[in-house]
Structure 1
Amino acid sequence: MTEWTKRTQNDYTLAFKLAVVEQVEKGELTTGQAQRRYGIQGSSTVLTWMRRHGSSRWRKASSMGKSVQKMSDPSKPVPPEQRIKELELQLKEAQQKAAFFEAVVGVLKRDYGVQIGKKPVGKSSRKSSSKG
């Protein structure tokens, strides 16, 4: 018989959290199914990950338990303060994703010897077709 040990969110790696969030966002699993499949103990842990690492539709209006907040509709005028908050959230997400991808590239280089570089400016990934 295995012994039950209480886990915290710090016991899960960022890569694991992002993988679970991606599966839920794609519709492959519900938050409850993800919790059961991966043995995640907290009933709201996956939802918390969705708010932190998922798309904007999972963000809460506030920490007081109000309804889920969506990014504003671009056709409606938005107060500058709200737009700034939205942009700050987008920036934070982009920075988290960039840090994650840089960590992945670091592991690929260190553990697998894979060299990943940027394409030179002005070079296209498409092959040019010669007209003749």
Structure 2
Amino acid sequence: MNNYVKRTQKDYTLSFKLSVVKEVESGILSVTSAQKHYGIQSRSTVVNWLRKYGNFDWENQTPSNMPKTPEQRIMELEAKVKLLEKQKVQLEKQSHISDSKAIIFDMMIDLAEKEYNIDIRKNLPPEQSNLS
């Protein structure tokens, strides 16, 4: 009979997670051996702990405590600038589309008000608009 018990992240204490991360980072255990040794359900659980609590910079694939050369730092910053420039262009396009839509909707409301002789916009009398 299989005594399988589904566990969640809440079943492990922070100190336990940190000790497993420390053992794996110091080379005492591999990710898979830590998983098996401690009965952790999944290898990815240990990897997630390493990403969350470890000293490895997963984004740049280097230990975070290692100093970066000026060339590495320049390359990182150039990549960030390129990404930000792309995002800026995309946001400018979205802004232009939104502005165009607002103008078109405004024109449609004007036409509807004129065509059907109804007030769609809520116009407050001047004395009420000063109260806020």
Normalised by the length of structure 1, the TM-score is 0.48
Normalised by the length of structure 2, the TM-score is 0.48
Greater Rg, structure 1 or structure 2? 2
